[in-house]
Amino acid sequence: MTSDLHHEGPLHGVRVVEFGSLLAGPFCSQLLADFGAEVIKCEPPRQGDPMREWGQEKPHGKSLWWPIVARNKKSVTVDLRTPEGQDVARRLIAQCDVVVENFRPGTMKRWGLGYEQLSVANPGLVMVQVSGFGQNGPYSARPGYGSVGEAMGGLRYVVGDPQTPPSRVGISLGDSLAGTFAALGALLALRVRDRTGRGQIVDSAIYEAVLAMMESLLPEYALGGHVRERTGAILPNIAPSNVYPTRDEGLVLIAANQDTVFRRLAVAMGMAELGTDPRFASHAARGRNQVELDEIIAKWSGQHDTEELMAVMIENDVPTGRVYRAPEMLRDEHFAAREAIVRIAHPEFGEFPMQNVVPRLSMTPGRVKWTGPRLGEHTDEVLTDIVGMETAEIDALRTSGVI
């Protein structure tokens, strides 16, 4: 049994059907699929999920994002805007444990696929609904992309240089956070279902997922009258903790804000006296003199090449790391030793590198089995083996354009 669990993953036996498109809902399903859930992604016939076309670089005209967000999933085509397609969806959902959808609230219900309707035939069903603003409230009917959730959840305002408008963090973080919380909610609901036999709705709103990450931002204002502002690379009053330049134009992050760690940094710099200097000897003093301290460290770091600086920091046990881009990640020995990046065979691209599954489980780890599937690759398999359709019915649905 242990061997089988190790091979299949901890969610083996859980069947998920995914509706919706782009990122927030599909990222939730990606996480579940990573750990062994059977995820059946339902896409519109002909065009499929728009994510198949997304991405800055598109070798062979293909998205480099799709193989990641759709990894380990099966693709079925079905037109949910037709009565026949809705019937196919109902029959499929009856055989599933979890539904993941990220349409605008109310859409599934209008199609006869709301939780109240589906749970009659499948009382243990867990329905995960991901949206911009949640399933109720005055904003629920608004369209809500990840960027909007990042703005209203408080993230955008605090990201970037204080002299520039609020910045994007460089990735679709709002969508991914909502998908992560949605996956957590699905697991919690499945735990309850296993005890009671009853499913429930998981409501994951993008703006709330972002808000959940905002630390003490709210009481800072409500109780202290302070509004957090953009601070660039620094954490105000926490010093030193910044990105410092090197002689060969590298960038190294040094985080030595604890008193003992700062004293080790001062020794490494050949300036042990800084550790007892009243301006820098305590956490509070370093915070008050943050700009001056950063200037001293930057002047020193700029006299050393990146690898030399890293070696000195590591030798003196000072937390440090280079600011990595993809090239550095792909050749880093630690990434390689832990298999943080896996390379999966892809029909067009050949060897396809992508981030591995996290977190790591010692007995039942997740794994990447295949990259995102071709549109409709598993339609016949799923409709035959899971829904129980005959070939003639499948052929008729295909002829009418429903699948």
Active site residues: 175
Count of alpha carbons within 13 angstroms of residue 237, beta-carbon side: 2
C-alpha dihedral sign at 41, 45, 51, 55: positive
Structure token pair of residue 204 = 């994951």
Q: How far apart are CA 177 and CA 180, in angstroms?
A: 5
Residue written as token pair 């002689």: 247
Structure token pair of residue 236 = 């105000």
Nearest to 41 by CA among 29, 51, 24, 50: 29
Integer angstrom CA distances of residue 196 from 185, 189, 199 = 16, 10, 8
Q: DSSP string of 86-106?
A: HHHHHHHHTT-SEEEE-SSTT
Residues 6+ apart with CB under 8 A from 183: 28, 31, 32
Q: How far apart are CA 283 and CA 238, in angstroms?
A: 7
The alpha-carbon radius of gyration of the chain (Å, integer) is: 25
Integer angstrom CA distances of residue 226 from 171, 222, 229 = 28, 8, 9
Structure token pair of residue 82 = 């037709």
The single-letter code of the amino acid at 219 is P
Strands 341-346 and 350-355: antiparallel
Structure token pair of residue 295 = 């200037």
Q: How far apart are CA 209 and CA 175, in angstroms?
A: 9
Q: What are phi and psi of 255, to 5 degrees?
A: -120, 95
Do residues 344 and 371 make contact, with C-beta atoms less than 8 angstroms apart?
yes
At 156, is the secondary structure helix, strand, or coil? helix
The single-letter code of the amino acid at 315 is E
Residue written as token pair 């998981």: 202
Count of alpha carbons within 13 angstroms of residue 389, beta-carbon side: 21
Nearest to 33 by CA among 261, 274, 373, 396: 373
